Structure 1
């Protein structure tokens, strides 16, 4: 990715020197993280509820021209599943908190964020809407957000409560070394996916989901969560489509992003972490699904092709 020399976003909050303060972790943050598990849980809205939601979502799609998932304003969005997909911290304490404020990786993140700002500002403007830039918080080890405390082991996440993306940059090393997903554009995909959740938040998608999931069984909530996460992948692909038009992608960039999507699929992570898969617990999508929706957004560049709320995935 030819990112050097391009505009860098001013919406970076570097809290790496402050991370870890404010007490111990209070469990997983409220970042749109559906519990992983095989049981379906208690009653509530099941398949019929999902069908009703899909109908409402499609109406919204037709009116606004944006994604049906703009009906969700939930607890947030994260790249990895909130269970067996957690990552280990092999930094030995030498994490991003020790990096200088002007380090190259920070410049890379700021440049990618700027590219997402430019793309989504243009897309929103074409729909008669105004895009609000998210903030991206760099932290080390743990951080406090409007969604609660988060550990770096949970991976990057988006919190709709404060419209911020949270990233411990040691995740990029783990993406390469632990998940086998190397390349700058694999890292760019991570950021673009979280920004995709911000788009869902701005367009109203997450709020509706947060309301609906209160009455859903765990299994049904997982199914809906998969559709939301796959849409964020598709949105990342839409961003990649317009980034490619600028001529700043290099050979192999898209392939590295697709490989990253593969490596963090629910099935792949569960096989790696526990040796077997529990399909009903999937809440981010399989490797094939994540690759398919990322590629779909990239090939077309159309939000209308990111309708994950109806039809097979």
Structure 2
């Protein structure tokens, strides 16, 4: 795989990543939803069942597996509000690589604690300065920065979700027409779209994000990559999707491969968490439930007679917040 961000990640990159992550990331189930609209059958890809509770383990393992022996010895730096932090910490522990994680102030305490428990060094940084702080730490310590989404190795790893969707749908005799994917920085949807472009090219790929952090929708519909202020995106309960903008590399993937992006209100995200708990028996964090929220909130606009897959991207939710969501 090339490291030049001028090129898009392709299916061969995703297939190579699948080999690298095997045995660490797991093949999560593709589950039918009997509770969904029978005119719009829904299946969910349950990435909340990964060892670290979210899809991020795929990209983190692939990125670290690609490091040279010298880079592994020096260690890595990552920046994340939680799920990527846990994924890098877990992968680093598996590979014996020192890991430092820059976590924005105000991040979910349960995710910070989980990252520390995995053995990573945690540094708290201002939310508005998180990426620059991580780059500075990487430079100071001579370590490799593992970006949460704007890295071709990370995108390729996330693309294995799309590979599995295609394979599992074929195994179960399901024709996939539309795939809904939560969007924060855009790494997951970029990788999935790259895989499906090869495996199910006729499928529609839709992003879903909170209305409070709908920078990707605005970007795609205006044709200009747009950043939202941190004070706006941090209003959403979907803490995993609070990126101020999609990345430069993920933006190119979204422009080339994504059909549209939907935005959903906070109440729809909360409702989706409850539906997944009581109807699909899954513990899901708000960001992880956002694609299902897109299906439920926009159901009337989604064409009938098509089969939908929603990616449930994570389940790392604070216990107190979860109890409030279920109330």
**By the TM > 0.5 criterion, same fold?**
no
Give me the TM-score of the superposition, normalised by structure 2.
0.26
Structure with a larger share of its residues in strand: 2
Higher relative contact order by CA 8 Å / sep ≥ 6: 1 or 2?
A: 1
